[in-house]
Amino acid sequence: MVLLISSSPFTALVVIDASIKNDIATSISHIHLANHSLIKTVHHAAFITSTEVELFAIRCGINQACIKEGVLKIIVVTDFIHTAKKIFNSKSHPYQSHTTAILSELCRFFKTNQENSIEFWKCPSCLKWRFHNNVNKDSKSFNPTLSFLCKISWDYCKKTDSDNIINQ
């Protein structure tokens, strides 16, 4: 099935993963179109939850796939399918800002062509599928180097910002 999809010039394969190490989250998405790797996106953020980083990875992957000319189908491959389900949950939850952004992008995608579609595929890391395994390795390979090892708290960051403003 993947070989058939990867040969299609109209299907974007979005493979995503995320990890958190030392309070630094890394989200990575690889976009493949017609069996060519087009875009590799890497983002880092500090002090966020795993659900937030997973939704952000989905959001970035979908955004990148939607801007590609001629894409009619998007397939999102992830090992956090439970988080992807939150996108379509209409109940109130703390991650609605991400889900709103994702749904608004998908709305534009579907309005451009009635034939457009999206699918979410679950791919656990233990399967070591080539595309997902590469993204998984990338997300876990980031080694954050902290500037102030003993001063990594949010309060310290706010104090530093305040001191800089006062100095200016």
The model's pLDDT over 137-162, given as tens digits with 9 standing for 90+, comes to 877 777 766 555 545 555 556 666 77
Per-residue pLDDT tens digits for 6-37: 667 788 988 898 888 877 888 888 888 876 66
Tens-place pLDDT, residues 35-54: 666 788 888 888 888 888 88
**pLDDT at residue number 2:** 64
pLDDT of residue 104: 93
Residue 21 structure tokens: 């190490």
Nearest in space to 74 (alpha carbons), one of 125, 128, 121: 121
Nearest Cα neighbor of 136 from 57, 70, 82, 69 is: 57
What are the phi and psi torsion angles at 41 (to 5°)?
-115, 130
pLDDT for 89 beyond 60: yes
Domain boundaries, the chain: 2-167
What's the pLDDT at 144?
A: 62
Per-residue b/e over 82-119, b at no fewer than 16 CB within 10 Å?
A: ebbebbeeeeeeebeebbebbeebbeebeeeeeebebe
User: Closest Cα partner for 48 from 73, 14, 18?
Assistant: 18
In this prediction, residue 35 carries a pLDDT of 66
pTM: 0.75
pLDDT value of position 145: 61
Q: What is the pLDDT of residue 6?
A: 62
| pLDDT for 90 | 79
- pLDDT tens for 101-134 read 999 999 999 999 989 999 999 988 888 887 778 8
Quickly name the fold that domain 2-167 has: Nucleotidyltransferase; domain 5 (3.30.420)
- Better-predicted residue by pLDDT, 90 or 83: 83
